[in-house]
Amino acid sequence: MALLVQKYGGTSVANAECMRNVAQRIARTRSEGHQVVVVVSAMGDTTDDLIALAKQVNPDPDPREMDMLLATGEQVSIAILTMALHHIGVPAISFTGPQAGIFAESVHLKGRIIDVRPKRIVEALRHGKVVIVAGFQGLDEQEDIVTLGRGGSDMTAVALAWALKADRCQFFKDVRGVFTADPRIVPEARKLDEISYDEMLELASMGAAVLQSRAVEFAKQYGVPLEVLSSFEDEPGTIVREEVKAMEHVVVRGVAADRNQAKITILKVPDRPGIAATIFDAIARANVNVDMIVLNVRSQGQLADLSFTVPEGDLKVALKAVQSVVPEVSSEGVIYDTNIAKVSIVGVGMRSHSGIAARMFSALAKAGIDIHMISTSEIKISVVIPKEKADEAVRVLHREFRLDRPVTTVRTRVVRRRSRS
């Protein structure tokens, strides 16, 4: 008998029928002898509808009141799912975030969980109940409701799994797991049986967005085993866990493209101490996350262009922030480009394998794909290319690194040798 935390997202609980299906799924897990704690998001478009309603009375609503409003979405979900479970004879009880003992910093709309005291959950489990918890919400020290920001329900699930010492935290999605590439672009893309936390983090940050980064970081820090699996099919998904030696046999785990990036270039930046700090301070104050940064100074003291990418939705805010400091940092001004895509390959095996970058660039060159920017980390190589080439680039790289071949403990050796070439 295991203790499982299961998280169902908004599309899995979009309407009454979906709720009934999720209830059946939970009932099956329970009938296998497991204890189950379930975290749910708001149903379908509920959150968007509530935001639209708020904007009708106030274009700039107060964050505390916005949290008061948004928290109702998850509260509806937990009640409905619990009723659906009762209807098929499964004992269950719902808890709001506060009732579940989720405590958060008093930062409205983006609270961070600071403590989990799941007393009521433990008690309900002891009484043989399935426990349904509202994701995305907690209580601050004033006893006000605080929501946990984008992907907050994932955070709730991982934090509960940690606090309850759950055997696994399962994320039910409209995909069957984590793939070597987006199967809509690469038909031969393969579902991965397992992946390391770090690889998952790089995948999430590059737009594959299967799990929320904060949740994966937390899981990595506390060693909470995760699983991504389908809400519609009854099959094992992808396990996300601590890196093991065998994982290094696979050099490239997956390829992903992010089309929602924009590139900003500040022209002719003088090579002076503190210039970069001035620029990225201004952007950070505007609450924009910068992704890739490329600065290439030819020789000390010279002028050079500084480029970086931001989420396309943040472009306007980022440009405004940059323009406010341009007079002091640039001799020629700012340009930007939204017609770009970022394509990345990820794999912990890269750490111990050389030549991967060269192989990536040459495969793209052979396919006639221009590279505008390059950025690398220990386990990821990303390039910025023209947006219309993104799908082709993903297919080219998937083929180049033979990601369609299943990886088993035996076969990895073969793959490894090949990758070294």
User: In terms of CB distance, is 85 or 206 closer to its own copies?
Assistant: 85
Please state, in angstroms and rounded to a whole number, the distance separating the CA atoms of residues 111 and 148: 5
Shortest distance, position 92 Cβ to its own copies, whole Å = 9
Shortest distance, position 19 Cβ to its own copies, whole Å = 5
**Pairing label, strands 168-173, 130-134:** unpaired
Q: Which amino acid is at 264?
A: I
Are 93 and 78 contacting, i.e. CB atoms less than 8 angstroms apart?
A: no
Q: Torsion angle, CA of 32/38/44/45, rounded to 10 degrees?
A: 180
Shortest distance, position 125 Cβ to its own copies, whole Å = 16
Shortest distance, position 246 Cβ to its own copies, whole Å = 44
Shortest distance, position 151 Cβ to its own copies, whole Å = 22
Please state, in angstroms and rounded to a whole number, the distance separating the CA atoms of residues 331 and 346: 37
Shortest distance, position 91 Cβ to its own copies, whole Å = 10
User: In terms of CB distance, is 95 or 197 closer to its own copies?
Assistant: 95
Measuring CA to CA, how many Å separate 314 from each of 91, 200, 420? 46, 24, 40
Please state, in angstroms and rounded to a whole number, the distance separating the CA atoms of residues 351 and 358: 15
Site residues, its own copies (CB under 8 A): 16, 19-20, 23, 50, 53-54, 56-59, 61-62, 64-66, 68-69, 71-72, 75-76, 78-84, 86-87, 93-94, 96, 99, 143-144
Measuring CA to CA, how many Å separate 312 from each of 261, 290, 318, 392? 5, 11, 10, 21
Q: Which amino acid is at 72?
A: T
User: In terms of CB distance, is 156 or 330 closer to its own copies?
Assistant: 156
User: In terms of CB distance, is 49 or 242 closer to its own copies?
Assistant: 49
Give Cα 403 distance to the centre of its chain.
22
302: left (phi over 0), alpha (psi -120 to 50) or beta: beta
Are 129 and 91 contacting, i.e. CB atoms less than 8 angstroms apart?
A: yes
Place of tokens 């912990």: 348
**The two three-digit tokens of residue 368, written as one number:** 């006639």
Are 374 and 385 contacting, i.e. CB atoms less than 8 angstroms apart?
A: no
User: In terms of CB distance, is 23 or 256 closer to its own copies?
Assistant: 23
Shortest distance, position 180 Cβ to its own copies, whole Å = 38
User: In terms of CB distance, is 61 or 225 closer to its own copies?
Assistant: 61
Shortest distance, position 158 Cβ to its own copies, whole Å = 24
User: In terms of CB distance, is 86 or 150 closer to its own copies?
Assistant: 86
User: In terms of CB distance, is 96 or 212 closer to its own copies?
Assistant: 96
User: In terms of CB distance, is 2 or 53 closer to its own copies?
Assistant: 53
Measuring CA to CA, how many Å separate 251 from each of 178, 302, 401? 16, 38, 8
Shortest distance, position 68 Cβ to its own copies, whole Å = 4
Give the helix, strand, coil percentages of the chain, each rounded to 5. 40, 25, 35
**The two three-digit tokens of residue 393, written as one number:** 């680039």
